[in-house]
Amino acid sequence: MHPFRAAVENRDHAAIEALLAEDVVFTSPVAFRPYPGKAITAAILRGVMRVFTDFAYVREIAGEDGRDHALVFTAKVGDMEINGCDFLHFDEGGRIDDFTVMVRPLSAAQALSAAMGAQFDRIKEEALAEAGAAEGGH
């Protein structure tokens, strides 16, 4: 089992964040522009963990060089079932530098968009606090 999958399944926020590169780019299934940086990506992932219930990875696919992984998942947003995939690329140091999520069906993606929209003020606050702490050397 990939360490990222284990961290997510154990809801281990610190382990998840430790696997993110400082320059990671997160591409959301429900936002037009990608989000660059570890602080915002970590905050988004915490938000997703608050929104999703019954989350489970059901398949793991690895590229030949070990630097690309696809993790297929199922979850619920409210009472809506969602299927998706986390596409991860790892840098030379083994940290995630590209994180793209795709989900289906459209109705579940819309429910996810609404649920994450409701979380976004908190996500931005967490990201700003984390970025400030990182700059302060903490």
Give per-residue pLDDT as tens, 9-54. 999 999 999 999 999 999 999 888 999 999 999 999 999 999 999 9
Strand order in the sheet with 52-62: 35-36, 20-27, 96-104, 80-90, 68-77, 52-62
In tens, the pLDDT along 47-93 reads 999 999 999 999 999 999 889 999 999 999 999 999 999 999 999 99
Tell me what pLDDT residue 32 has: 83
Tell me what pLDDT residue 36 has: 95
Task: Report which secondary-structure segment, H or E, holds 2.
Answer: none
Q: How far apart are CA 38 and CA 26, in angstroms?
A: 9
Task: Report which secondary-structure segment, H or E, holds 23.
Answer: strand 20-27
Q: How far apart are CA 40 and CA 45, in angstroms?
A: 9
Task: Specify the pTM.
Answer: 0.89
